[in-house]
């Protein structure tokens, strides 16, 4: 079976509210069972992006990085699983914890911070998002669709409001 072509968009957000708006727009486009892999150093806006996704999922929960619990589950109109693999040092630690089942959830969407810590375990169908910090609140964001997002997704995320 051939892999889906990778579609890529690069954009810039200039505030936390723009990064959250991007998260909302993405969540509205993601189908059930999707995985979003987040890559980026500390302070690049990964958790801010997830806050927007949780808003679009219809949860009133306060979103924080699940660094010490490793996973948060937010239930609203949709379910959002938020994993943070920062404290893990090897992919097999994910297997020992049993979280690999969340990489292809039966319902909802899974978003993984520090996804590079489990690259070998991630499904090929996913959305990869790379965030980098510029000066102030400016973030450079690259989104790679690996067969998950619907046609026209590029226009939707490029026109966040």
Q: Tell me whether residue 29 is in a domain.
A: yes
Q: Tell me whether residue 138 is in a domain.
A: yes
Q: Tell me whether residue 135 is in a domain.
A: yes
pLDDT tens figures, 12-50: 999 999 999 999 999 999 999 999 999 998 888 888 999
Per-residue pLDDT for 68 more than 90?
A: no
Per-residue pLDDT for 8 more than 80?
A: yes
Total structural domains within the chain:
1
Q: Tell me whether residue 14 is in a domain.
A: yes
Q: Tell me whether residue 2 is in a domain.
A: no
Of 72 and 150, the structure prediction assigns the larger pLDDT to 150
pLDDT of residue 1: 44
Query: Are the C-beta atoms of 46 and 54 separated by less than 8 Å?
Result: no
Q: Tell me whether residue 1 is in a domain.
A: no
pLDDT of residue 161: 54
Kindly list the distances between the CA atom of residue 62 and the CA atoms of 8, 38, 54, in Å, as whole numbers in the listed order.
30, 19, 9
What pTM does this model have? Answer: 0.89
pLDDT of residue 145: 96
Here the CATH number for the domain that contains residue 12 is 3.40.50.300
Q: Tell me whether residue 42 is in a domain.
A: yes
The Cα–Cα gap between 84 and 106 comes to: 20
pLDDT tens figures, 104-155: 788 899 999 989 888 888 899 999 999 999 888 899 999 999 999 999 899 8
Kindly list the distances between the CA atom of residue 106 and the CA atoms of 1, 16, 25, 34, 78, in Å, as whole numbers in the listed order.
22, 31, 22, 9, 12
């Amino acid at each position: 079976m051939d892999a889906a072509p990778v579609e890529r968009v690069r954009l810039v957000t200039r505030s936390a509210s723009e990064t959250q708006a991007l998260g909302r727009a993405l969540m509205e486009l993601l189908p059930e069972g999707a995985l979003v892999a987040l890559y980026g150093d500390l302070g690049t806006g990964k958790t801010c992006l997830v806050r927007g996704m949780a808003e679009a999922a219809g949860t009133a929960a306060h979103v924080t990085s699940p660094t010490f619990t490793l996973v948060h589950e937010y239930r609203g109109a949709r379910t959002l699983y938020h994993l943070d693999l920062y404290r893990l040092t090897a992919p097999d630690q994910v297997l020992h914890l049993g979280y690999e089942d969340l990489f292809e959830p039966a319902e909802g969407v899974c978003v993984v911070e520090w996804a590079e810590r489990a690259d070998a375990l991630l499904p090929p169908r996913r959305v990869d998002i790379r965030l980098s910090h510029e000066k102030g609140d400016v973030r450079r964001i690259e989104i790679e669709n690996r067969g998950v997002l619907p046609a026209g997704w590029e226009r939707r995320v490029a026109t966040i409001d």
